[in-house]
Structure 1
Amino acid sequence: MDALRRLQQNLFSAEDEEGQQQEDDLLGDYQGLCNLSPIQRIYGFGGCLLAGLVFMLLSLVTFVRPIKFALLFTLGNVAAVGSTTFIIGPTQQFKMMFDRVRVLATAIYAGCVLLALICALLIHNKILTLIAIIVEICALTWYGLSYIPFARKIVSDMFIRVFDTEI
């Protein structure tokens, strides 16, 4: 139990100018708008991630209906990606998503999420919806690999060897 408390203290607190421990809030610089305790943040993260996984699993059940699949899968992805906002806060999440290393993957992912929803809800085109979902999965994978040191380089080298092309 002490290890969990120390981990919470290291993750969710910072030292101010005098060296005293100061609790960070969910919104970073906007103190007082929304304060969550470390346990509440972990519960929020777990709940949002679990909801995202449930939506993604339900989307597999409706795979034969691409429009329902796209809606559930996209909602699940957005919830799963958004769950980290409970841990690091929306400001830090936004900064990390639009970091120089991730900005292209973020833009493609966000564009494909919008495209999948437009194809599913407005156009009702199953083929375009599935293409948007496939590109969305690839962009989300590439985005996730950016958090692992040298992962993108390894995948890129693998593509060069296997397909004789570079990503």
Structure 2
Amino acid sequence: MAIWETSSVPNNEDVMDDSNPLSCVQLDRTQRLYGFGICFIVGFLISILSTLSLGTGQVALFAVFFTLGNIISLMSTTFLIGPAKQLKTMFAPVRMVASIVFLSMIVITLVVAFTLKLALLCLILCIVQALALFWYSASYIPYGRAAIKKVVGGCIDV
């Protein structure tokens, strides 16, 4: 499968199957893994570096770059499964709530940053945005959410 697929892949196929004849861009497995890694790291770095603009009081700049970093990190998976499958899996029942919360937080964060310009509220919304992305990502790891619940539950019981 390549970056830009034109049909969905059945659930029983390998997500990185190279045999999709309808792909318009062909990348081998190594290229896709590099694309995924680079895109994810760049997105993460943009999100982290966006916090530098908070010190200067530029709330809108912080919100835009933090959100952009999260979106780039999310889009890194298109290197592995393609954009059509990405959209399809985002709204699968197991990920729907996390996807809706994440996308809603993107919109709300940007609206608050550009209209209210409240740094603390914007920071809280960005944290919720990051947590929603983390929860969404954990749904791709077998038993990932269960492990997170167990760790958080153990920390709360202390």
What TM-score results when the alignment is normalised by the length of structure 1? Answer: 0.71
Cα pair distance change 1:162/1:41, threshold 3 Å:
closer
Residue 11 of structure 1 is matched in structure 2 by 16
Q: Who is 2:151 aligned against? A: 158
Counterpart-to-counterpart distance in 1, 2:135 and 2:113: 24
Is 2:113 aligned against 1:120? yes
State how far apart, in whole Å, the 2-side matches of 1:45 and 1:70 are: 24
1:93 matched residue in structure 2: 86
The residue correspondences of 1:1-167 to structure 2 (distance < 5 A) are 11-14=16-19, 22-25=20-23, 35-38=24-27, 45=36, 48-64=39-55, 65=57, 66-164=59-157
Contact kept in structure 2, 1:12 and 1:23, CA below 8 Å: no
Aligned length: 140
In 2: Cα distance, 1:54 partner to 1:155 partner: 23
TM-aligned CA deviation for residue 24 of structure 1: 4.4
1:41 and 1:152, CA in 2 relative to 1: closer, same or farther beyond 3 A?
Answer: closer
Unaligned runs of 5+ in 1: 1-9, 15-21, 26-34
Provide the identity percentage: 35
SS at match of 1:147: coil
AA at the equivalent of 2:16: L
User: Equivalents in 1 of 2:100, 2:60: separation in Å?
Assistant: 22
Offset, 1:157: 2.4
User: Unaligned regions of 5+ residues in structure 2, if any?
Assistant: 1-14
Structure 1 residue ranges, 4+ long, deviating more than 3 angstroms after superposition = 39-51
Larger Rg, first or second structure (1 or 2)? 1
What amino acid is aligned across from residue 51 of structure 2 in structure 1?
Answer: L
Asked if the contact 1:59/1:69 (under 8 Å) is kept, the reply is: yes
The letter for the 2-side match of 1:88 is: I
Deviation at 1:78, TM superposition (A): 0.5
SS in 2 for 1:62: helix
Task: Decide whether the 8 Å contact of 1:12 with 1:38 is kept in 2.
Answer: no
In the other structure, the counterpart of 2:10 is none
Relative distance call for 1:86 and 1:155 in structure 2 (3 A) is closer
| Counterpart contact for 1:45–1:86, Cα < 8 Å | yes
Deviation track 1:44-85 (CA, whole Å, cap 9, x = no partner) reads 545543542342242132232333222111101101111222
TM-superposed deviation, 1:103: 0.6
